[in-house]
Structure formats: structure tokens, C-alpha cells
Structure 1
């Protein structure tokens, strides 16, 4: 088997877990992925099989699109729902303020990666150093946001949930964007949900689920593909 599998990764497993699954189902060792998705994220994960792994850099570097939910009114050590959540006192932003703040992130700007990320410095991985209690200062890098549109705004007694449609270039951390939006609004923020809807020209409406791949493998259709 060779080519690109447009996989709809579910919430829970890592991107590498999905690679291991394809290796098991196809009997092929030469498999990789283009663009990591965190365990809490779902959606398009391009899986490269066989000779297609040579195009990993080209596919990873393309436009990406996300459907993201940002929780405002609290902060997280990991900038997502996995870390300890700390509420922030003070007024919550209204919808107009959120729209104005979102517009400030359109374009190319320097973004500081999350403390818990896969970025490396001096041979050390940021998330491993942070978990060991010795975080490293990973430098900011330029990222590009092409569009950032507010889809829904919902306020409760403790915070605000905003759902956004994001189109961005490679290397953009949506967790960091959620954090920085909260800081700009003065209320704190973290990423509470993320679904990648497009990557490497592949869209989520044509993606295949792990369950479908398991069924194809059971019928003997993957090893001969």
C-alpha cells in the first residue's frame, strides 16, 4: 500500500498512535504523518504510506483550517483543557470585544509556543522539560493567520466559550492563540476543543475514520491496496 490516507483522528489517541494503527492494518512499516494533532484534537490527519513519506515536508507546510473552542475567563498551565485550570477574576468580555480582539491576530506575527509543546532547544523537548519542573524558554517564531472568524459566543456564570473558524499557516499553535486571546482581553483563555477541518488540501468531509479502516482491513482490502 502507498499514498496518502485522509484520516479523521478521534479525540484521545496521539498522532503516532494512528501511525501505529496503519502499520498494523497494512503490514507496512514505512508510514508517517503530516502535521501533528494533540490527543485532545480531532480531524484531518494526513497519513503518508510508502513512497509518499518523501513528501512529508511539502504536505506539512500547507494551509490548515480549524474549528476551535476557546474558553475565556480562566488559564491553563498547558494552554488547553489537559492542564490545571485556574479561574481569573474580573469582567468577562462581551461579543463585540471578542470580535475586535480576534481581528488583531490576522496577519503574520511572532507567536510564543506553549510551554508544553514538541519544540526543542539545546536537545531538550519543551513539554518534557516542563513536566520535569525545569521549563525552557523556547523563542517565539513567525506564524501567519489568514482568517479568524467568530462562529458562536456563549457566556455562563463562570466564563465565555467562543467557537472560531481559523485558517492559518504551518507552525501556528492554536493553544497559544487561545492563550494570547485571553491575555489580550484581560481575562485569561485556553483551548477547550479543536477539530482540524482541512490540511494538505484534504478536508474532513472526505476523511475516513479508524473504524472504517479496521473494517477494510478485516476484508483484506488494505494489504492489497
Structure 2
């Protein structure tokens, strides 16, 4: 049984669910989930949670993401990328200056209409199921946030009508739709040609590992090198080490009082408690037993003068 997070490099041709299915075979366990769908043709970072790390799926799905997208002007498709059926083709007369001017309009917040080929449900049906049946339904726009868009390469803009951009965005942003909307604003249409997800929260492309590499490390007994501890996602929080005399109550999901905290940590490598900040109402801490077992995230309730469980990760 493994617990934690794996930064998987999703290769083209795999769905996100395909990645989970193969990992279940590699790790011989069922409790695995991914933190944000990538289209089959897209590549890059797919953070996968295993064991007690699956309790982080929703939290990690909310993290901001970064992408590098290749966009082709002068064409629109039913999927908003080049894997779909072409709906229209247009002449392109777009300068580098014009492209940058239009792209700037999408920096910040804007209302984005999700594509028909997406997993969003309308009336209990996934949109892509309706699209495959030849149906199109009205979709409500969703407010997304895009802190920055950077044009990385427009050297093929005049010849092949292609440019490459880097996008930093909030959850729920469809890059295919962003490409489509940029093309619409330019008056010539556009579709996404290629997509790489380079970052999800603190997980980056340069540390992502392929499924084949994960399988190889399993055979070599080196999986611990690529499975990040569940608590690593909370490393910005202060920690508390609880006295062994209170451990049984922790194991049963109970909170703890200030007097249950071990004042001196037994390992110099573990941070010491900052008492001046620890007992403020609402402060969150990560909690360990004396043998360094991670129990979860607890929040201080000043009125009750105790810490209560916010997210419990302990597994006997």
C-alpha cells in the first residue's frame, strides 16, 4: 500500500483515466485518483494521488495550472482542436502586433463557454456524449481567471499561421476554448494544435515521470523516490508533535488541547513550534505523533481552546 502523490508525465494517446487504470496495475492497488483531466492528445503534468493521498484530489484540482499551447489560425473544428472535424477555414492576415493586442484582452477574468466536447454534465449527461450523438446544447459561461499569457513563438505566424503561447490560469480553464476565442476575436478562427501542461501547483514538468519509468522503479524497488509524502503539500504550515499519551485519541479522530503538544520536538530536522502564532483562532497546523506518523491538518478554535480535525489522513 502506497500513500502520497506521483507527478506523472501523461503521454499522448492516454486519457487521464487510462493513466489511473495502468497505475492500479503497476502499484497493485485500487485507491488511486487523478487531479485534473488532460485531453488524450495533450501531454504533461498529471498529478496522481494514491492511498491516503486521494483525500487531496479535490484540493489539488483547485490549484492553478500552467500550459504551453500551439495554436493554428484560420480554422475551426467541432472539438476546438485539430483532432476534430473541420467546420470552417478562413484566410489569415494577422500581424504579430495584432496578435499580441488581442491576446491581452484575455488576461484577467473572462466568461468562457465550455466546449461541447468536455466532461461537464448538463441534465445528467456529459457534454461529449451529447456531442457524439450530434446534439448541441446551451452551455452557461463560466468565469475563469488567466493571470498571464505570453507569446513564446510567432515566427510561423505569416507562413503557417501558427503561434505558441504560455498560459497561467485557474482551474476550469479550457485552453482549447481560449484558442478558439482568440481566433474569433481575430476574425479568422483558430484551433489548438498541441498542448503541454507544464505545472500544477508545485508540481512541474521537469520532475514528471512516465508510466514506463514508474514501472521500472517498481521493479527496482525505488518507488519511494517518486512518491511524494501526502503531507508535503502542506509544508507551508507549522507542525505540532503530540505526546504519546494522547496518541490513541488522535487515532480515533479526536482533536487535542494545548497541553497535549510536545513542546520540544525530538528531531532537529523538524521545525519548532512558533508559540506566538500557534494559538491564534483559525490557525492550521500539520500534526504528527512522536514517531513522526502524520495524522492530518487541524485548526485551532480559540473559544474551545483546542485543535479540531480539518483533514484526517491517518491510516493504521
TM-score, L = length of structure 2: 0.68
Answering whether residue 74 of structure 2 is matched by residue 73 of structure 1, we say yes
Corresponding residue of 1:145 = 146
Answering whether residue 67 of structure 2 is matched by residue 39 of structure 1, we say no
Provide the C-alpha distance between the structure 2 equivalents of 1:202 and 1:221, rounded to a whole number of angstroms: 20
Corresponding residue of 1:173 = 174
- What is the number of equivalent residue pairs in this alignment? 223
Deviation at 1:156, TM superposition (A): 5.4
Provide the C-alpha distance between the structure 2 equivalents of 1:54 and 1:65, rounded to a whole number of angstroms: 23
Q: Secondary structure at the match of 1:138?
A: coil
Corresponding residue of 2:122 = 121
Poorly superposed stretches of 4+, deviation over 6 Å = none
Provide the C-alpha distance between the structure 2 equivalents of 1:44 and 1:31, rounded to a whole number of angstroms: 16
Q: Secondary structure at the match of 2:147?
A: strand
Answering whether residue 187 of structure 2 is matched by residue 189 of structure 1, we say no
5+ residue gaps in structure 2?
A: 228-316
Largest Rg, 1 or 2: 2
Contact 1:26 1:222 in 2 (8 A): no
Deviation at 1:113, TM superposition (A): 0.6
Deviation at 1:210, TM superposition (A): 1.4
Q: Secondary structure at the match of 1:155?
A: coil
Deviation at 1:219, TM superposition (A): 2.7
Provide the C-alpha distance between the structure 2 equivalents of 1:127 and 1:200, rounded to a whole number of angstroms: 27
Corresponding residue of 1:82 = 83
Contact 1:119 1:138 in 2 (8 A): no
TM-score, L = length of structure 1: 0.95
Corresponding residue of 1:18 = 19
Provide the C-alpha distance between the structure 1 equivalents of 2:199 and 2:90, rounded to a whole number of angstroms: 36
The two structures, once aligned, show a CA RMSD in angstroms of 1.5
Provide the C-alpha distance between the structure 2 equivalents of 1:70 and 1:89, rounded to a whole number of angstroms: 15
Deviation at 1:205, TM superposition (A): 0.5
Residue by residue over 1:143-188, the C-alpha shift from the partner in whole angstroms, topping out at 9 and shown as x without a partner, is 000100101111355x411100100000000000000000000011
Q: Secondary structure at the match of 2:129?
A: helix
Provide the C-alpha distance between the structure 1 equivalents of 2:62 and 2:90, rounded to a whole number of angstroms: 39
Q: Secondary structure at the match of 1:213?
A: helix
Contact 2:94 2:158 in 1 (8 A): no
Q: Secondary structure at the match of 2:82?
A: coil
Provide the C-alpha distance between the structure 1 equivalents of 2:69 and 2:130, rounded to a whole number of angstroms: 27
